[in-house]
Amino acid sequence: MTPYTNIKNSSTSAAPRGILLGVARLCLTSAFACLLFGLTGAVSAADQAKALDIKYTSHPPAPERQTAKDADKKSLGCMSCHTGTDRHTMHANPGVVLGCTDCHGGDVSVVKPKGAEYKGKDDALYGMAMSRAHISPRFPKVWHTPDSANPKGSYAKLNQESKEFVRFINPGDLRVAREACGACHLETVQRVERSLMSTSAMLWGGAAYNNGILPFKRYILGEAYSADGVGALLKNPIPVNEHMTQMGILPSVAPLPAWETVPPGDIFRVFERGGRVINSGFPEVGVPNSTGALQRLDEPGRPDIKQSNRGPATGQRIAVPVINITKTRLNDPHLWFLGTNEQPGDYRSSGCTACHTVYANDRDPSRSGVYAKFGHEGKTQTIDPTIPKDKSGHPIKHEFTRAIPSSQCMVCHMHQPNIFVNSFYGATMWDYESDAPSMWPKKQKYPTSDEIREIQNRNPEEAAIRGLWGDPEFSKKVSELNPTLKDTQFADYHGHGWNFRYIFKRDRKGTLLDKDSKPVDDKDPKKFEKAVHLTSIHLDLGMHCVDCHFVQDAHGNGHIYGEVAAAVEIDCADCHGTSNKYPTLQTSGPAAQPGGRDLLTLRTQDGRKRFEWKEGKLYQRSALDPKLEWEMSLVKDSVTPGHPKYNEKAARSKLMHSGQDGRDGKWGPPDPNGKTEYAHANEKMTCYTCHLSWTTSCAGCHLPIQANWKTERLHYEGGETRNYASYNPQVARDDMFQLGKHGPVKGARVAPIRSSSALILSSVNSNREKIYIQQPPIAASGHSSQAFAPHYPHTERKTETKTCTDCHLSQANDNNAIMAQLLLQGTNFVNFVGYNAWVGSAKNVEAVQVTEWDEPQAVIGSYLQKYAYPDWFGDHQKRGMELPEAHNHKTAGAARCLTLRGEYLFVAEGAGGFRVYDVANIANKGVSQRIITAPFSPLGHDAHIPSKNATCMALPTNQPIAPTRNVGDLMRVTNEEQAFHPIYNYAFVVDAEEGLIVTNVNTFADGEPRNNFLTRATTWNEGNVLKGARHITLGGHYAYIATDAGLVILNINDPLKPTVAAKLSIRDMRASALQFRYLFATSAEGLQVIDVTSPEKPAMVGTANVPLADARGIYVARTYAYVAAGKDGLVIVDIETPHAPKELTRFTADGKLNDAQDVIVGSTNASLFAYVADGVNGLKVIQLTSPDSQPKFYGFSPETKPQLIAWRKTVSAALGLAKGLDRDRAVDETGGQIAVFGRIGSRPFNGDEMARFYRNPNGSLWTVKDAIDRASFVDTRPSGAKK
Amino acid sequence: MKRWMMWCSTLRAASRSVSWVFLLAAPFVSMQPYAQPLPYQSPHQTLGTVTCASSLCHGSVKLWKDSNVLQNEYLTWSRIDKHARAYNVLLNERSQRIAKNLGLSQPAHEAKICLDCHAHVVADKNKGERFKISDGVTCEGCHGPAEAWVRTHVEPEGAAAAQHAKNVADGMYPTSDPVARAKLCMSCHYGNKDKLVTHRIMGAGHPRMSFELDTFTEIAPKHFVIDKDYSERKKVWDGAKTWGIGQALAVSETMSILADPKRGRDGVFPELVLFDCHACHHPMGENRWKPKTAFGPSISPGLVRLNDSSMLMLRAIARTIDPKLGDRVVQQTQKLHRAIAGEGDAFAEAAALKKLADEAVPVIAGANFSSQTMSAVLVRLIDDGVQGVYSDYAAAEQATLAIGSVAAFLAKQGAMTAPQKFNATLKKLTASLAMDEQYKPREFETLLKELRSQTGTVAATTKATAAVAPTVPAGAKL
């Protein structure tokens, strides 16, 4: 059975009744889903009241065929004013026979009155005729009738208009396209209605699953409307069988429920049951008793932070990401709505017209092609005299085309701001830091509420309200700043009001490189001309999106999909072939019809054959430029010795043998029997695993919701409600290259993995109390929502590809950090230290506020603060760089080890044992004691395990997880999720006297407040082997414990029955940090390195010793180890080659940093920061890189240039710090999955798979080098074929 | 090759089921076959292949149930019709060499002399905005520039027959009419007043050409099905008649060239492409001359023989359907041969033969092609060969194509007793023609004798069990 079917006669239920039936059906399968499907009947506020009462007369649908004479009659009156048009029927094909009213409706009998000439809308005679001929809207103000331009930000307002009016302004709108386009293109219209470009199912589904809102990885939500603008349930045209399910086809998608009715997916404390009503904290919708009179009778003493006194989905006990989907302009608008028509990159129509009618959006020909010359302000070139040429919001011409420039795709594919079309362009979202002086106002801006709303309606990023680019007049000229810029170059498109920076070729240290990989000086004024801009090689050829994504990729194949990767028709090999086969030019992607599409029959808009073989060479013609064609690279030629296109580097990688031969480096053409198996064969990995120059990772995004913002819904019924969440990218990086397994739909091949929207949520209630801050949600699978997904980065290059040492152990052993990154074990570099740094001290735990609350969340005293908040930066300097705000709680002993996970702080506090503090209200001004042991009586909550001397503790991950959610057939079978390793249920505490204490901590992730008690699951200290235990590091199911005798490695594969894996004598070992194959330890000797490739057989790396007098805490981030070295301050050690560590610098901040006990490192925007627990001196904040100090700051691991930027004395001596949230760690060292993976069946590598990258079956290592070794070439071809 | 024959036989079988339609149709001759200018001569604009190729027009992957045409014509053309690649051939090494050898100032793909047949060449003013010369022999290259009829040919179904007539009246080229079609195909495959593959072009390296209208119509390949709505809109012609008309027009076209003092001559020589290639192109040691009897004994050794293959075919048809006309064809051809040999005015005789061939066209078109008649034609074709008439390769080739066409017609009529046996021998006959330079007349005659014994023509009431594949020599090229 095949997923492809004839869909011409399929049924689409587009009526409200259909929705109800569909919902009822869904309810049968899931009681949970039932809760969600109460579409609210909210009325659009102000505009609705002004609706004109108009009786519309329906115009018959356009006929499939008619005589030319009949058609001409339908244009007569129209053309008395519209005396000229670019293409009468919009179609280039004169075989299309249509009159104006066939598509637009309207009254053709109205003819321009004699003597009336258009002199503006006040011309009464003309105006009256116009209003009779045209169809009037119900809301003339919204559509600024009679102006013809698309209005700005119309969103859901189309849903409130009659279908007659919608058809009049855009016959291609999906509400009415069946009547106009459908005459001939009905099948295509139906495909488009079900395609992801209309339903947005991938975004809604992904958001719902990754944020724990809906447990369905086979998504159930998608956008669609009936002709009347009512939300509709879409059904697949044929029943979905098992095979189709495997291909990613969905049976139906239902409308998005109103956000007010969606229960929270999060386990935050404010969403727990109970609580008093907070009247003003409620949104004004759906509250039957808004005065709360009854609830006031509640007894005193109940915590008043809970968001409702009723059940889930009341008050603010709702799912924040759904507010985001509903109201925050992110992905939307999509095909059901017009473009927002307000900024370059936002001009377009809706439905069919959205793509087939080109608007001027971008001045760069590589993105706009032949349309670049028409500017980027959405102005028209039409010959129609009635259309104003100077008003934005008009198509370039009254004309359909298939020559669609990428700039048109980009109007929607702007989001996510860091991928796909952006990466194809070699660009990613700007990080607010590079060239900050040009982008922020000299004087700090204090935007008014009006200004904020005006900007946020266009641009959801809060930083824009303070930056210069909040002004569209500034943003549209940002690229004109390029010649004056120092650290980056900007692109010339600004959809959503965003800025995009170009990615340049750099080495791992961040040095710019030219095409020959020679360094380009940071001070060279022409550095951005010399350095390679890492665009897709396809873009460089002049290609646009439509040069690879043909008719089906644009329209869909008629089935409903949830994942983009599953809905793609084209595959690299279709055009490039593989190492042993020339391309077939038949599409073969997962959504291709059986046998594929014959690309050889395709033609460009201007009439040329798109593909053609000529004398053994394959050519493609540009879809955009009638003069452009290019020869295709054929993989087979590139690996055939003797062929003019032979490329030894390509041949070596593609013909690298698999198995032992490959590990020995042997490569060469297939033997005559064709039995040679290849390591990198097309069946095993996607082409773009290697053929990418960079991948993007959005390692962090902050969604703060504010109850006081009354804002519009951008979907469905529209209208206004309170609550708004802005959208704030924090760390969009281009230096993270990570691999994993794609889902079965893509052949379960190895593919690049990106960090995909690692969200953190905050909420400010109507009293401006921060009721939770920067909380990562938990995915429906219980995994961390710091999500990852396999993806196609669209950054293909020929030279700047991935090479051997990007994925395998280098012979020089200088890629330990690269391997940790690659395998998704994380590098501790992009870790998120948010609003607060969490310090453990001799007698306290303490939260010190280290960033601004406003966006961007600049670290106080940092480069970014200086430019984004010059006044506040000045205040900070005036305070002598002292941080003003902190909160603490006393402990029962020294808190040296602490971990923040979710709203809980896990602390080992010496004689006080192990305690979990509730820190949910750390930023809530309405709560006096911000850190508490329990929100209510110890009888109801006691998160404490007494022990004799709890010296340290560790959680398997500091990302919030809920292993208890990841059970049952829905997860295991339907969603194809991996189970959690049992260690993830526990916290591991070391006690100097008692040994290892293991306790189950799942209670903090179950949303149930009444069971928060801790008990020892086990206490283990066999043979007193853990005597004097003082530090614990977890690496998968191995625990590395510092004891009196040195290092003890425990195997905790069964966490309740640890066994000793190995022991290694180290003199006074104090702390350790793990990176891939190496454990870095501090001891009486200083910094020592231990090879833990096999944790059962650890080996001291004899040569690796950096002597330090008083090494204590240690943190490893990429190629540097940061050692808190007592009076020597912060010692930064280069560990790029772990067997030969080199001290880079000792930083004491001119002697101010002289009692360093512990250190952590994290990224904020583009900069790297260290936080040091400086003993008696308290907390120190150090900016490690900034655009001022280190122009190479975009590198994988730029050399650090420490600068003290802030400090605060803690109430007692600062001893330890909680590590920032891991944002690039999806899996542990033994293969246990931590973070959620988008795409069904996709996952990080398991332990065995990881080992295959560098270990022989007997456990020994094999290594690679990038230089080609001729001796490894094995030519088994018959002698005649050799050259 | 084998696959290709099966393809043809499939097509034949497909059209067999509708044979009753044309049996009932009254004999009809297009009254003004020459009134329509050939597509390249049309005064209208050529819009370009992409206009036709839309997936909602003639580029549909699926056949339309409710359409009177298949709607996938573009795909058929694009994928398997060699006309679609005619232009690309000009880019290959051989074409570039030919152009160089001819001393053309432009490469083959830019030279008008090459493009004239390898593409649809129109005047600049007639090039539509999406016209592409590189598309080779295109939709509009055969069906005529669409400017004047593109809007109306999609009008709602009314009087269907009238609709086609209206399209033709608006400038669509009437390819369904065999005379018009022959004129169109032969404009390249034989040459006409504007274009001709001369002996010089052949000398520069152009491959040998052969053509037979009916066979080539089938293998083009056909992108239409003759069914009910087709016959309602257009006249249906059976293959044998198409073959006959094609032969008469071939003679006419050849003669018009021969008779033309400019085109028919090349310096002191006549235009040698009109003559039998193998008259000269054989090793000098090999003397295979033998008196030619078909058109009289006057052809002597050493004389360069006219390529008279089509005349031989016309002779066979004419003698059967109109003996008087047959005699005149024989006589006039004899006269021509003699004139070429020096006994008379070759130009005048050629002109006279042209006239006679033109005269034969309506006779053939109007004749009643019963199975008896066509059986007689088949026997005649074979007997001629047995008697050594096809001593030249070109004649043998045409005869074999003809035997295939006629036999297929008879098989469709159920007028062959053992079509499979016949077909098997025909295959052998075809195989013997695989290499023109290794043609052995004796062997060919022996095979023809075998074929003769298998004709077994009987009354039309005998039911045939299977169709016979039409057969063309392996060397035949488009």
| Model confidence pLDDT, tens digit, residues A913-945 | 999 999 999 999 888 899 999 987 888 899 999
- pLDDT of amino acid A1155: 98
Average pLDDT over residues A1200-1227: 97
Residue A10 has pLDDT above 60, yes or no: no
Assign B22 a pLDDT band (cuts: 50, 70, 90): very low
- pLDDT of amino acid B11: 33
- Out of A322-326, A625-629, A778-782, which region has the weakest mean confidence (pLDDT)? A322-326
Assign B299 a pLDDT band (cuts: 50, 70, 90): low
Average pLDDT over residues B458-475: 36
**A956 or A941, greater pLDDT:** A956
Residues of B in contact with A68 (CB under 8 A): 151-152, 155
Q: Residue A774, Cα to own-chain centre: how many angstroms?
A: 16
Distance CA A347, CA A417 (A): 17
Assign B160 a pLDDT band (cuts: 50, 70, 90): low
Assign A1079 a pLDDT band (cuts: 50, 70, 90): very high
- pLDDT of amino acid A927: 86
Mean of pLDDT over chain A = 91
Assign A332 a pLDDT band (cuts: 50, 70, 90): confident
CA distances from A78 to A88, A193, A381 (A): 11, 30, 19
Assign A276 a pLDDT band (cuts: 50, 70, 90): low
- Is the CB of B47 less than 8 angstroms away from the CB of A94? yes
Q: Across the A/B interface, how many CB contacts are shorter than 8 Å?
A: 75
Whether chain A has a CB inside 8 Å of the CB on B156: the answer is: yes
Distance CA A654, CA A801 (A): 13
- Is the CB of A67 less than 8 angstroms away from the CB of B92? no
ipTM of this complex prediction, to 2 decimal places: 0.84
Distance CA A188, CA A557 (A): 9
pLDDT digits (tens, 9 = 90+) for A1061-1072: 999 999 999 999
Contacts of A411 (CB under 8 A, 6+ apart): A339, A345, A346, A347, A348, A354, A359, A361, A495
Residue B9 has pLDDT above 60, yes or no: no
Residues of A in contact with B54 (CB under 8 A): 93, 95
- Is the CB of A93 less than 8 angstroms away from the CB of B51? yes
- Write A134-137 long-range contacts (CB < 8 A, 24+): A134/A106, A134/A168, A135/A56, A135/A105, A135/A106, A135/A162, A135/A164, A135/A165, A135/A167, A135/A168, A136/A52, A136/A54, A136/A165, A137/A52, A137/A161, A137/A162, A137/A165
Nearest CA to CA, how far is B211 from chain A (Å)? 27
Contact A1104, A1124 (CB under 8 A): no
Residue B457 has pLDDT above 90, yes or no: no
Structure tokens at A296: 């006031």
CA distances from A649 to A751, A1254, B386 (A): 20, 20, 67
Whether chain A has a CB inside 8 Å of the CB on B47: the answer is: yes
Whether chain A has a CB inside 8 Å of the CB on B81: the answer is: no
- pLDDT of amino acid A938: 84
- Is the CB of A65 less than 8 angstroms away from the CB of B49? no
Maximum Cα interatomic distance, chain A, rounded to a whole number of Å: 108
Residue A891 has pLDDT above 70, yes or no: yes
Rg from Cα positions in chain B? 22
- Is the CB of B150 less than 8 angstroms away from the CB of A603? no
CA nearest A1177: which of A1131, A1214, A1220, A1150?
A1214
Q: Best residue in B45, B52, B56 to probe A by mutation, most A CBs within 10 Å?
A: B56
Whether chain A has a CB inside 8 Å of the CB on B96: the answer is: no
Q: Is the dihedral of CA A273, A278, A282, A286 positive or negative?
A: positive
Contact B104, B111 (CB under 8 A): yes
pLDDT digits (tens, 9 = 90+) for A233-258: 999 999 999 999 999 999 999 999 99
A97, A608, A614 ranked by CB distance to B154: nearest: A97
CA nearest A697: which of A739, A741, A648, A637?
A739
Structure tokens at A604: 């460009």
Whether chain A has a CB inside 8 Å of the CB on B78: the answer is: yes
Q: Best residue in B45, B47, B51 to probe A by mutation, most A CBs within 10 Å?
A: B51
Residues of A in contact with B83 (CB under 8 A): none
Structure tokens at A738: 């990570």
CA nearest A1194: which of A487, A510, A434, A732?
A510
- pLDDT of amino acid A756: 86
- pLDDT of amino acid B19: 33
pLDDT digits (tens, 9 = 90+) for B395-440: 999 999 999 999 988 988 888 888 888 999 999 999 999 988 888 8
CB atoms within 10 A of CB A449: 9
- Is the CB of A66 less than 8 angstroms away from the CB of B155? yes
Q: Best residue in B54, B94, B109, B157 to probe A by mutation, most A CBs within 10 Å?
A: B54
pLDDT digits (tens, 9 = 90+) for A100-111: 999 999 999 999
Residue A282 has pLDDT above 90, yes or no: no
pLDDT digits (tens, 9 = 90+) for A347-371: 999 999 999 999 999 999 999 999 9
Structure tokens at B235: 């006249």
Whether chain A has a CB inside 8 Å of the CB on B155: the answer is: yes
Residue A301: Cβ-neighbour burial (10 angstroms; 0-12, 13-18, 19+): exposed
According to DSSP, the β-strands at A784-790 and A1235-1237 are parallel
Structure tokens at A813: 């052993």
Nearest CA to CA, how far is A682 from chain B (Å)? 28
CB atoms within 10 A of CB A327: 26
Q: Where are the alpha helices (DSSP H) in A700-800?
A: none
Dihedrals φ, ψ of A704, to 5°?
Answer: -85, 130
- Is the CB of A601 less than 8 angstroms away from the CB of B88? no
- Is the CB of B134 less than 8 angstroms away from the CB of A68? no
- Is the CB of A607 less than 8 angstroms away from the CB of B131? yes
Nearest CA to CA, how far is A669 from chain B (Å)? 30
- pLDDT of amino acid A972: 96
- pLDDT of amino acid B113: 95
- pLDDT of amino acid A43: 38
- pLDDT of amino acid A308: 72
- Please list the residues that pair with A991 across neighbouring strands: A950, A995
Rg from Cα positions in chain A? 31
CB atoms within 10 A of CB A1102: 9
- pLDDT of amino acid B341: 83
Contacts of B72 (CB under 8 A, 6+ apart): B58, B59, B60, B61, B62, B63, B223
According to DSSP, the β-strands at A1235-1237 and A844-849 are unpaired
Element at B340 (helix H, strand E): helix B323-340
Question: Tokens 């339609």, residue?
Answer: B21
Dihedrals φ, ψ of A514, to 5°?
Answer: -90, -170
Helices and strands of chain B, counted as H and E runs: 22, 2
Chain B residue with CA closest to A184: the answer is B56
Distance CA B364, CA A8 (A): 48
Average pLDDT over residues A1208-1212: 97
Helices and strands of chain A, counted as H and E runs: 33, 51
- pLDDT of amino acid A417: 59
Assign B12 a pLDDT band (cuts: 50, 70, 90): very low
CA dihedral B379, B381, B384, B386 (to 10 degrees): -70
Structure tokens at B457: 């023509």
Residue B289 has pLDDT above 80, yes or no: no
- pLDDT of amino acid A120: 60
- Is the CB of B135 less than 8 angstroms away from the CB of A609? yes
Residue A584 has pLDDT above 60, yes or no: yes
Report the percent of chain A where pLDDT is more than 70: 93
Contact B357, B249 (CB under 8 A): yes
Q: Is the peptide bond before A146 cis (omega within 30 degrees of 0)?
A: yes
Contacts of A673 (CB under 8 A, 6+ apart): none
Q: What is the DSSP string of B32-69?
A: -TTTSPPGGG-SSPB--HHHHH-TTTT--SSPPTT-SS
Distance CA A968, CA A782 (A): 12
Assign B279 a pLDDT band (cuts: 50, 70, 90): confident
Nearest CA to CA, how far is A612 from chain B (Å)? 9
Whether chain A has a CB inside 8 Å of the CB on B258: the answer is: no
Whether chain A has a CB inside 8 Å of the CB on B65: the answer is: no
Average pLDDT over residues A814-841: 97
- pLDDT of amino acid A119: 66
- Out of A758-772, B24-38, B120-134, which region has the weakest mean confidence (pLDDT)? B24-38
A971 secondary structure, DSSP code: I
Assign A297 a pLDDT band (cuts: 50, 70, 90): very low
Nearest CA to CA, how far is B109 from chain A (Å)? 13
Distance CA B338, CA B325 (A): 20
- pLDDT of amino acid A25: 35
Residue B88: Cβ-neighbour burial (10 angstroms; 0-12, 13-18, 19+): buried
CA nearest A51: which of A138, A136, A135?
A138
Nearest CA to CA, how far is A68 from chain B (Å)? 7
Distance CA A1237, CA A1222 (A): 15
- pLDDT of amino acid A12: 37
Assign A22 a pLDDT band (cuts: 50, 70, 90): very low
Residue A806 has pLDDT above 70, yes or no: yes
Contact B354, B251 (CB under 8 A): yes
- pLDDT of amino acid A289: 52
Residues of A in contact with B57 (CB under 8 A): 93, 95
Average pLDDT over residues B182-195: 91
CA nearest A881: which of A1149, A1180, A1210, A1206?
A1206
pLDDT digits (tens, 9 = 90+) for A1003-1040: 999 999 889 999 999 999 999 999 999 999 999 999 99
Average pLDDT over residues A677-689: 94
Q: Where are the alpha helices (DSSP H) in A592-694?
A: 635-638, 648-654, 659-663
**A856 or B416, greater pLDDT:** A856
Nearest CA to CA, how far is B35 from chain A (Å)? 26
- Out of A695-704, A737-746, B119-128, which region has the weakest mean confidence (pLDDT)? A695-704
